[in-house]
Chains A and B, each alone.
Chain A
Amino acid sequence: MYEKDGEKYYVVDGHVHFWNAGPDNYNKYGKMFIDCFYGYHSALSPEEYLWDEEKFGKYSEEDMMHDLFEIGYVDKAIFQPTYLLDFFPNGFNTTAQDAVLAEKHPDKFILNSSFEPRLGEQGLAEFEEKHKKYGFKGVKLYTAEWHEDSKGWKLTDDWSRRYLEKCLELGVKNIHVHKGPTIRPLNKDAFNVDDVDHVATEFTDLNFIVEHVGLPRLEDFCWIGVQEPNVYGGLAVAMPFIYSRPRYFAQIIGELLYWLDEDRILFASDYAIWQPKWLVEMFVDFQIPEDMQGEYGTLTPDIKRKILGLNAAKLYDIEVPSEIPQEAPAMAGGETGYPERPL
């Protein structure tokens, strides 16, 4: 919980990891991969939050509990697993790894899992087993991931549909899809979000959370967000722009509020790439710069409250303390727009 200027905010961090990317668990590609993450971390973090590479590769349970819950204002954090077994022999951040922490602190963490449609029938059975064991409500998917001789998959593939049907049957209703900065060798148009559009129409009882709000294809994401009410935008990776590129951040938030609405945007730190403490503090203090307010309007405490926690709380049936004001849902689409007359 965060409190500032008499306003209270319930915080759900929609995207966290507990990874092991230390030298005992990476190969050549794994090393490149964690170096890439470290690049994101060092490029976009305030200096006082920079870690050295060793700690970044493998941080402790205490670090995570401290950074999220002791100083980071987070009330609930959602684990989004990332397997990458070809890079990290024991996995980068698997459901089982995350479960160790999630089981120790069931009031703090929400554990999500993942599926790999290219594993076919056997993978489907394993997915069901995993669900029996962990009982998750959400999955994180990487359509750009290479697997054997395949360079990626689409949500519209036959096997993907089978897995989505299984999700529906099991009550796994939140489908987080990574469409954004490269997670693994990817090619083709792996950032393309068209497949989300199709399955969102087809599976209206599932929620599709497009991680990283589709960056670097914000426009494609916004386009499907307008059409599909069950499509959400996760702010991981977009959030840290608030510090290093605040004017871009203002525009990204402004566009999301216009094309989607304030009920479908979810806060996330992508811990341990960035830390929730400074993101939450800066977001609560943030305002659209004055010269842009004509186009984008302003951010009110109610809008911030929804983005920081209330929206995710709805998706995951999290009970929010009654001291947090809860506003009625927004009307779709913002009121601001493009200057129709001379500026």
Chain B
Amino acid sequence: MITEASVLDALSGVRDPELDEPITDLKFISDLRVGDGAVDVRLRLPTPFCAPNFAYLMAHDAREALLSVPGVHKATVILDDHHTADEINTGMAGGLGFEGTFSSFEETGEDLDGLRDIFRRKAFVSRQEKLCRAMLADGHSSHELANMSLREVRGSEVKDKYLSRRRELGLDVSDDAPFVVDPDGRQVPEEAVVQHLRFARVTRLSIEANAGFCRGVLAARNGISDPEEESA
């Protein structure tokens, strides 16, 4: 017996690649139906003009997540009210892949994995900055951060998120690995740490502000009041 909770749990592993948050937290799931071995999910994004490549990635990932739930043999993901909904829904149903889905357009050689990677790197940088910021607030200096190993970073939810994004990039997450590394895994030299974090701060801001914008627009679209601004 498939439960709604197990389905939602699986879907919570799907993130908006650009906003680095689960599609369940972002309230993108507009409808969910669980039947005998089958699940139907509808996704509604903040505007009909959300970028088709991201829309496609989320629909695709949602379908994969649903199929990973024990007992689910058939998973249907429908994108609602999107300007490329027809193409994406047909493409998803037929397993056409991204290029196949948009085959009426010129071949762009678009590399969706490459795009996903760009955003994984950004998510990593942003999570790292968030963690460093919290540690500076706790009394560590940037000099200390630069010389720490992962073991020396106290456990927290922020650290777990950072490690998960770090792992996704295939970087070393062992206890002895240096803490402050760039998205290629190279340790950031002590004299460069401040500048590194300064730039990382803009990446985090960009992701968070964009997520805030999308939340507000989705709330307006669904006719509910805008959630409070998160403390930045």
Name A residues whose Cβ lies closer than 8 Å to a Cβ of B: 29, 32-33, 35-36, 39-40, 42-44, 146, 149-151, 181-190, 215-219, 222-223, 241, 244-248, 251-252, 255, 258-259, 337-343
Minimum C-beta distance from A56 to chain B (A): 13
User: Counting CB contacts under 8 A, is B194 at the interface?
Assistant: yes
- The contact of B142 among A181, A190, A340, by CB within 8 Å, is A340
User: Which B47-76 residues have a C-beta within 8 angstroms of A?
Assistant: 47-53
- The residues of A that contact B141 with a CB separation of less than 8 Å are 340-342
* B209 near A215: Cβ-Cβ < 8 Å: yes
B212 touches A248 (CB 8 A): yes
Asked if B32 lies at the interface with its beta carbon under 8 angstroms from chain A, I say: no
In Å, the complex CA distance between A217 and B84 comes to 23
Interface of B is mostly: helix
The verdict on A216 contacting B209 (CB below 8 Å), with A149-B105, A340-B194 known, is yes
Identify the interface centre among A181, A258, A337: most chain B CB within 10 Å of its CB. A181
Q: Is B108 an interface residue (CB 8 A)?
A: yes
**Nearest CB on A from B192, distance (A):** 12
Whether B53 pairs with A188 at a CB distance below 8 angstroms is yes
CB within 8 A of A43: which of B51, B108, B226? Answer: B226
Given contacts A36-B47, A149-B104, A251-B205, contact A43 B219 (CB under 8 A): yes
Contacts of A149 in B (CB 8 A): 104-106
Contacts of A42 in B (CB 8 A): 220
Task: Identify the stretch in B150-158, B169-177, B179-187, B196-204 within 8 Å (CB) of chain A at 4 or more residues.
Answer: B196-204
Q: Which residues of A contact B202 (CB under 8 A)?
A: 218-219, 222, 255, 259
Cβ–Cβ < 8 Å partners of A29 in chain B: 83
Binding-face segment, B4-12, B23-31, B132-140: B132-140
Q: Which chain B positions have C-beta within 8 A of A252?
A: 205, 209
CA distance A35 to B77 in the complex (A): 24
Nearest neighbor of A339 in chain B, beta-carbon distance: B136
Q: Is A219 in contact with B209, judged by CB distance below 8 angstroms?
A: no
B208 at interface (Cβ–Cβ under 8 A)? yes
Q: A248-B229, A338-B195 are in contact. List 12 more A-B contacts (CB 8 A).
A: A35-B47, A150-B106, A185-B83, A187-B102, A218-B206, A219-B203, A247-B231, A248-B209, A251-B232, A337-B194, A341-B141, A342-B141
Q: Cβ of A342 and Cβ of B140 under 8 Å apart?
A: yes
CB-CB under 8 A from A188, the residues of chain B are: 53, 108, 110, 115
Q: Which 8 A-B pairs have the closest CB atoms?
A: A216-B210, A43-B220, A219-B202, A43-B216, A247-B232, A338-B198, A218-B206, A32-B48
Q: Determine the chain B residues whose CB is within 8 A of the CB of A241 once the complex forms.
A: 209, 212-213
CB distance from A73 to the nearest CB of B (A): 26
**29 residue pairs bridging A and B, Cβ less than 8 Å apart:** A32-B49, A35-B47, A35-B48, A36-B48, A39-B220, A39-B221, A40-B217, A150-B105, A182-B49, A182-B50, A185-B83, A186-B52, A187-B53, A187-B110, A189-B118, A216-B206, A217-B206, A218-B209, A223-B199, A248-B229, A255-B205, A258-B198, A259-B202, A338-B195, A338-B201, A340-B142, A340-B194, A341-B136, A342-B139
Number of B positions contacting A (CB below 8 A): 54
B46 at the interface (CB under 8 A from A): yes
Q: Closest chain B residue to A42 by CB distance?
A: B220
Quick check: B83 and A248 within 8 Å, CB to CB?
A: no
C-alpha spacing A241/B142, complex, angstroms? 31
The verdict on B18 contacting chain A, using a C-beta distance below 8 Å, is yes
How far is A149 from B209 in the complex, measured between Cα atoms in Å?
Answer: 33
On chain A, the residues within 8 Å of B216 by CB distance are: 43-44, 244-245
Once A29-B83, A188-B110, A337-B194 are accepted as A-B contacts, the answer to whether A342 and B136 lie under 8 Å apart by CB is: yes
Q: Would B46 and A39 count as touching, CB distance under 8 A?
A: yes
**Please, which residues of chain B bring their CB within 8 A of the CB of A251?**
205, 209, 232
Q: How far is the CB of A232 from chain B (nearest CB, A)?
A: 17
Cβ of B51: which chain A residues have Cβ within 8 Å of it? 182, 186-187, 190
The residue in chain A whose Cβ has the minimal distance to the Cβ of B132 is A338
- Whether A215 lies near B206 (C-beta < 8 A) is yes
Contact among A43, A217, A246, A338 for B197, CB-based, below 8 A: A338
Return A38 CB to nearest CB of chain B, in Å. Answer: 8
Most buried by B among A33, A189, A245: A245
Chain B residues, CB < 8 A from A339? 136, 142
| A248–B232 CB distance below 8 A | yes
Question: Which residues of chain B have C-beta atoms less than 8 A from A40's C-beta?
Answer: 217
A27 to B208, CA, bound (A): 34
Chain A residues, CB < 8 A from B197: 338
